[in-house]
Structures are given as C-alpha cells and as structure tokens.
Structure 1
Amino acid sequence: MQPESEKYEEETPSLHWGIDPVFSAFAKLYIKDITEMRESKQVPGIFFYNGHPVRQVDVVGIVVQTKERDAFYSCGVDDSTGVINCVCWKNPMVAETPLSGHPSTPSSLSVFEQMKKLQETVRQKTKLEIGDVVRVRGHIRTYRQQREIQAPCFYKVDDPVCDVQISRMLELPCLYREVYDKPFKGPEEIQSEKRWDLEEDLGLSGLEGQNFSIHVLHEKVQDFLLENKIQTFYQQELETVDSLVSLASVHL
C-alpha cells in the first residue's frame, strides 16, 4: 500500500514517463490504491503511485453490483481492499444479432456451427452477474468525482476452488515490493547515482571525489581540443558537444 507521506510527491515531468515500464504496462494494483492515487496535473487520466505514472490497470475481484446496458455493463468490483466501478464494454460482434442463415455446403455448415459456438462462448464469458469473479483490464478515469475503470477487455474467471484469486493474492505483494514501492527514478537521479557509485568504487568521497571529477572532465576537454585541433573557443561552444555534456552530468 502507498504510504500517506508519498501520496503528494512532486510529479515527474511527462517527458520522462516512458522511461518507467509501469507507464506502458497494465499495473496490477490494489483497488484501494487505485481509488486513492493522485491524478496528474500535466495530463488528465494519468495517475501516480509512489512516483510511478499509471494509466491502465489489471484488476481481479468479485462483482458486487451490476447494471446492464445495450453496449456495456456498469459493475462494482471488490478485491477485498475496496470497490471500484468498472464500465465493461461489450464486444460489438457478440452484441449484434446472433448468426442466422442456411449454409449451402457441408464445409460451410461446419464453419457456421463453430462460429455460433464461439459467439455463444464469448457471450457466456462476458455476461456479468453478482457474485462472479471477473478480471478487468482498462484505463483509469475520474467520472463525477469518482474513480472508475473503462474496460474494453474483461471476462468471467472460472475459479471454483479460488486458484486464480489465491494466485493474485500471492503475486501482488511481490510486485509491490519489487516494483511499485520502489520510487521511480528520473534521468537526473540515475546520473547522480552513477557518479556516486564511481566515486565509491574508487574509494573517493567529499572534496576528493569532486576534485577527481573535475580532473577527469579537464582531461576529456583537453583531448577533445587536441583531437579537433581547436586553439580558441568559448565555453558555450563546448556546451554543445554531447559527449562532454554527458560526461559533465555524470561527474559534476
């Protein structure tokens, strides 16, 4: 679960969100955390858990309320940590009029029957009733000041002995420990860690480490000037050299 003090951390710039794999994945979070995550001030529909940008989630829970409409189910899903409303959109191919007609050949009859069976299977797997175990994958949004999941992908889970629910219950603590509860680190923090790791490997710290960094950068600048036969230059010109700027960001 997300510590109270970390719910209001500074936002990572949106330019860096793609670096975090959580941003592109369907995050397997507890419903309690989904309902409590803070929405981004930069981009609506993006939420933050411990600095990780989250836009889509994967939830397994029990249907505790449901309303069926022509195009979707609106249902409450409970995972024992909280309840969230899920708008589960029906497959338009299944929602349409059932297959009908008279196949002209035996081979087309076989295909026709298989398609009817497939359509019926999909219809049964996506017909939601109270008490069903359901898996929902979709985007988070805030609607009428309430958090909900817009789910184009959902299905009933056949779980007579609770295997799926127990598996999810064991999986989530590991994901939280190894991924979600470890703060997201932007490029600047990563560069800073590289610099400190280098100084620690060399047994340097404090002023010694800073002097070493300056010495390394000084040598690289000299090598660059000699290699390119440059005799006069401005500092601003060196700041356009990617290799030197990258080195400076690591060492200084």
Structure 2
Amino acid sequence: MDPPRRRDVNKSSTYKSWMKLYICDITASLVSLSPSFDSESTYSFNGHPIRWISIVGTVTSIDEHEKKILFSIDDGSGQCINAVARKDSMTSKDMPRLHSTVKARGELELYHDAWQLKLTSLELDAPLETQIKFWTEANENHARLAKTDARKRSKHTV
C-alpha cells in the first residue's frame, strides 16, 4: 500500500484532533502504527493518520531523572505506556502521584522499540465524570475507525 499523500493527510479529521485511544490499541498495533512522515510524529492507525493522542489511566510507576520525569500509565486495557515530560516544565503540584488517575495528552514516539507519550498536557486526579466521558468517546472513535477501515478494505477486495 502506498503511503498517504500529504494533502490527504492534512484533510483528515483524525489528523487535526486529539484521538482518544486505548493503550492496547497503541501497543498492539505496532505494525499498523508506522511513521507516515519522517519529520513529524504522525502515524497511521487502521489507515487513519494520527498525530496527537489522549489517554486516561492510573499512574503505576514514577521514575525521576535529572532532566525528565518518566511515569507509566495503565488504562485497564491490558497494556501500559510510559509518559515522559521535561522536569523544568512541571511544578511540584503538576507532578503525578503513584496510583492517581490522570488524563494525558501528547505525541507518540518510539523509544528503544517501545511506545511512549511525549507529554503536552497532564490533568491530575481526573474526576469520574471525565473518565466516563473519555471512555465513551474512545469507544466511539474505536468503532468509527474500525468501520471506516472495513469499508476501505471491502472496496479493494475482488
């Protein structure tokens, strides 16, 4: 399959929005999540270009380094993802706590053959209403992307 053309990618609604995804969709789809453009963090998920990711989950580990903080997020889907942020961009009240529920947004990057989320924003102690709304929208995204992908495949089958 040919890589998507730049003008087609720029028109896509998935390219221009925060995509709410399950962590298992990200980690299990390493084959379908492939770089579309070398200079950007743009990936293809079920044939849809995705640039920005939003996830909700529980902080399961925290590892502080000299210049960055790395923490693992578990969303209950069976997989975890590491999120990384520069330490100088966070204040003490912005720091995640172990076992707290967070809403994280950022760009995906492949680091030592594992996906990690380069943080753009982090909401601590996400209330239950926010989590429920997130999961509802993630379910809708998941169904919409799967349905569109199935339609594309059916057009190309003989």
Task: Indicate whether 1:13 and 2:5 are aligned.
Answer: yes
Structure 1 residue 153, shift from structure 2 partner: 1.2
Task: Indicate whether 1:65 and 2:61 are aligned.
Answer: yes
Task: Indicate whether 1:84 and 2:81 are aligned.
Answer: yes
| Bigger relative contact order (CA 8 A; separation at least 6) | 2
CA distance in 2, matches of 1:144, 1:21: 30
C-alpha offsets along residues 65-108 of structure 1, whole Å, 9 cap, x if unaligned? 1112344320010111110010033454x64xxxxxxxxxxxxx
Structure 1 residue 55, shift from structure 2 partner: 1.8
- Picking from 136, 143, 167, the partner of 2:111 is 143
Structure 1 residue 24, shift from structure 2 partner: 1.8
Larger Cα Rg: Structure 1 or Structure 2? 1
Contact 1:90 1:152 in 2 (8 A): no
Counterpart residue type for residue 31 of structure 1: I
- Picking from 125, 129, 139, the partner of 1:157 is 125
CA distance in 2, matches of 1:42, 1:77: 27
Contact 1:50 1:184 in 2 (8 A): no
Counterpart residue type for residue 118 of structure 2: Q
Uncovered stretches (5+) of structure 2, i.e. residues with no partner: none
Structure having the larger proportion of residues in helix: 1
Counterpart residue type for residue 39 of structure 1: S
- Percent same amino acid at aligned positions? 20
Structure 1 residue 149, shift from structure 2 partner: 0.6
Please provide the CA RMSD for this pair: 2.7
Mapping of 1:1-252 within 5 angstroms? 10-35=2-27, 36-37=29-30, 38-40=33-35, 42-43=37-38, 45-81=41-77, 82-90=79-87, 92=89, 95=91, 123-124=92-93, 126-159=94-127, 162-178=128-144, 180-181=145-146, 182-183=148-149
Contact 2:19 2:141 in 1 (8 A): no
CA distance in 1, matches of 2:150, 2:50: 12
Uncovered stretches (5+) of structure 1, i.e. residues with no partner: 1-8, 96-122, 190-252
Counterpart residue type for residue 43 of structure 1: D
Contact 1:51 1:184 in 2 (8 A): no
Contact 2:103 2:126 in 1 (8 A): no
Counterpart residue type for residue 63 of structure 2: K
1:154/1:71 Cα in 2 relative to 1: closer, same or farther (>3 Å)? farther
Structure 1 residue 154, shift from structure 2 partner: 1.1
CA distance in 1, matches of 2:74, 2:86: 19
Contact 1:138 1:150 in 2 (8 A): yes
Structure having the larger proportion of residues in strand: 2
C-alpha offsets along residues 27-71 of structure 1, whole Å, 9 cap, x if unaligned? 111111112242125436321111111121011110011112344
